């Protein structure tokens, strides 16, 4: 098999949320197929859930309020694609999306992050998304204003007489022509930019409570005079900095916040990974407080059921936010969750373990496959890396065998196998005498035979 060319990075942008169009379930599955091998049931479930967000927005107002999202829980061993589905879904959601780790939260009243902070994070994602969109809408006007400010910096003299004004206009237009032609890009100019107090940010960040720190920071910032600092930058960089400042002035932040809150409440998606880490097996439960397991479930329950969360942008309702949870559930079962939590995740999808054929496809088919990644890395040394079909099959077979005989870590095993297989080549490069590296099945067997055959070595190396 010849070296696989790297995929083109220029992809067509997805339509905005609210643009009148959403991806159909079949289109969502096709997009996920480009990066995730197999797991058709999981792809189908999240694709339908994503499309239902759009369908609900088209229902009449009275009925729309009654349509609640069907939350999903993905169940499967590690390394089968649960987190990868979430990563790719974030790019397709066209709505505020946040991925969180359930194990990072603690019960309210204890040191750590409380569950409501995931909604605050979701609102912040929505604000950033809307602000970016509105900034793009005023980008042309912001660039024009930045251009005028830059010309003022390049031509600081203020004419007084009519003759001087006419001459100044002529000089300004000449300077504008040079600026647009890029002839001044490397010239250095001095610009004023807003200054942030790094020490204050560090003190507030160390407090631990995100919402309290954010509130104090805003209060102190509003009470202190705005400070600026002078920077010497090249003209090409100054245009970007000044355009960002002008865009911030043109964007109405009240409108940004209002739209962001609407999107969060109506179309927001929260992906809760490692949810099994906050579940205790029935026989191991204790009667005392459990601040990182059942206590977190109790705090998470009202958010998933539908409640009102206070954020720095105002109150946000969670009734129509879609929650997708995922977990391996090795030592516990979904039925070990508190009954109320089980009822709030009515759709359960099991992801199957990966075998040899799955590994072979993972190595070659996705646009970000490991072979493409290593091919790209080696190409930077002006060396061609080539894997034969028999080599790919052998790598997949060894990874599957090691998973079967030791701990099953799914597709992550391919990373360790590929790293150990290529480490000598990667260490030797750059090498003037090497222009092509061909990997065949005998090379794979020779390099990995001892580790693949020895269970003890596999546990420590692979």
Residues 326 and 400 in one domain: no
Confirm if 349 and 42 have CB atoms less than 8 A apart: yes
Q: Looking at residue 255, what is its pLDDT? A: 94
Smallest CA-to-CA distance from 321 within 93, 20, 107, 108 is with: 93
Q: Which domain holds residue 203?
A: 139-250
What radius of gyration do the chain's Cα atoms show? 28
Q: Looking at residue 198, what is its pLDDT? A: 47
2 part of a folded domain: no
Residues 342 and 299 in one domain: yes
**Size of the chain in residues:** 462
Residue 7 has pLDDT above 50, yes or no: no
Residue 370: count other Cβ atoms within 10 Å of its Cβ.
20
Q: Which of 319, 350, 381 is the last residue of a domain?
A: 350
d(CA 100, CA 304): 14
d(CA 290, CA 302): 18
Q: How far is CA 188 from the centre of its chain?
A: 36
212 falls in which pLDDT band (50, 70, 90)? low
Residue 270 has pLDDT above 90, yes or no: yes
Total number of domains in the chain: 3
- pLDDT tens across 330-350, in order? 888 888 888 888 899 999 999
Residues 241 and 284 in one domain: no
441 part of a folded domain: yes
Domain CATH code at residue 448: 1.10.8.60
376 part of a folded domain: yes
Q: Structure pTM?
A: 0.79
Residue 128 has pLDDT above 90, yes or no: yes
Phi, psi of 188 (to 5 degrees): -95, 140
Task: Annotate 239-297 with three-state secondary structure.
Answer: HHHHHHHHHHHHCCHHHHHHHHHHHHHHHCEEEEECHHHHCCCHHHCCCCCCCCCHHHH
Q: Looking at residue 213, what is its pLDDT? A: 57
Alpha helices (runs of H) in 18-116, residue ranges in sequence order: 25-33, 40-57, 61-64, 82-92
- pLDDT tens across 191-209, in order? 877 765 544 555 544 444 5
Instruction: Give the highest mean pLDDT range of 103-112, 120-129, 226-235.
Output: 120-129
Residues 123 and 158 in one domain: no
Residues 369 and 343 in one domain: no
Smallest CA-to-CA distance from 231 within 182, 258, 194, 266 is with: 194
State whether the Cα torsion 86-325-118-70 is positive or negative.
Answer: positive
Residue 408 has pLDDT above 90, yes or no: no
11 falls in which pLDDT band (50, 70, 90)? very low
Residues 283 and 244 in one domain: no
- pLDDT tens across 307-320, in order? 999 998 999 999 99
Across 390-419, average pLDDT: 89
Across 283-297, average pLDDT: 62
């Amino acid at each position: 098999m010849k070296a696989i060319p790297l995929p083109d990075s220029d992809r067509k942008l997805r339509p905005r949320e609210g643009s009148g169009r959403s991806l159909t379930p079949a289109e969502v599955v096709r997009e996920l197929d480009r990066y995730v091998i197999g797991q058709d049931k999981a792809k189908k479930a999240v694709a339908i859930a994503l499309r239902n967000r759009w369908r609900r927005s088209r229902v009449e107002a009275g009925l729309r309020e009654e349509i609640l999202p069907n939350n999903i829980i993905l169940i499967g061993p590690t390394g089968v694609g649960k987190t990868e589905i979430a990563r790719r879904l974030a790019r397709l959601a066209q709505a505020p999306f946040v991925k969180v780790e359930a194990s990072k939260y603690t019960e309210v009243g204890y040191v750590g992050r409380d569950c409501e902070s995931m909604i605050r994070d979701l609102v912040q994602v929505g604000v950033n998304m809307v602000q970016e969109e509105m900034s793009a809408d005023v980008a042309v006007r912001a660039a024009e204003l930045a251009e005028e400010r830059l010309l003022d910096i390049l031509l600081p003299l203020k004419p007084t007489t009519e003759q001087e004004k006419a001459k100044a206009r002529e000089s300004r237009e000449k300077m504008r022509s040079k600026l647009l032609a890029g002839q001044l890009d490397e010239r250095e100019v001095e610009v004023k930019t807003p200054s942030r107090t790094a020490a204050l940010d560090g003190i507030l960040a160390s407090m631990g409570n995100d919402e309290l720190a954010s509130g104090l920071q805003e209060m102190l910032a509003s009470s202190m005079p705005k400070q600026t600092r002078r920077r010497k930058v090249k003209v090409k960089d100054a245009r970007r900095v000044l355009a960002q400042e002008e865009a911030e002035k043109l964007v109405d932040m009240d409108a940004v916040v209002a739209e962001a809150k609407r999107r969060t409440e109506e179309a927001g998606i929260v992906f809760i990974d490692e949810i099994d880490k906050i579940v205790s097996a029935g026989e191991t439960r204790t009667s005392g407080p459990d601040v990182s397991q059942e206590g977190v479930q109790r705090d998470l329950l009202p958010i998933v059921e539908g409640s009102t969360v206070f954020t720095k942008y105002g109150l946000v309702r969670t009734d129509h936010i879609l929650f997708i949870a995922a977990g391996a559930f090795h030592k516990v079962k979904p039925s070990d969750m508190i009954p109320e939590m089980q009822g709030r995740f009515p759709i359960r999808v099991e992801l199957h373990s990966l075998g040899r054929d799955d590994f072979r496809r993972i190595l070659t088919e996705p646009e970000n496959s490991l072979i493409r990644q290593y091919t790209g890395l080696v190409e930077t040394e002006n060396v061609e890396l080539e894997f034969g079909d028999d080599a790919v099959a052998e790598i997949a077979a060894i990874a599957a065998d090691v998973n079967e005989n030791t701990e099953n870590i799914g597709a992550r095993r391919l990373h360790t196998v590929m790293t150990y297989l290529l480490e000598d080549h990667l260490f030797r490069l750059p090498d003037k005498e090497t222009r092509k590296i061909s990997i065949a099945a005998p090379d794979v067997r020779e390099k990995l035979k001892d580790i693949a055959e020895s269970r003890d070595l596999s546990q420590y190396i692979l």
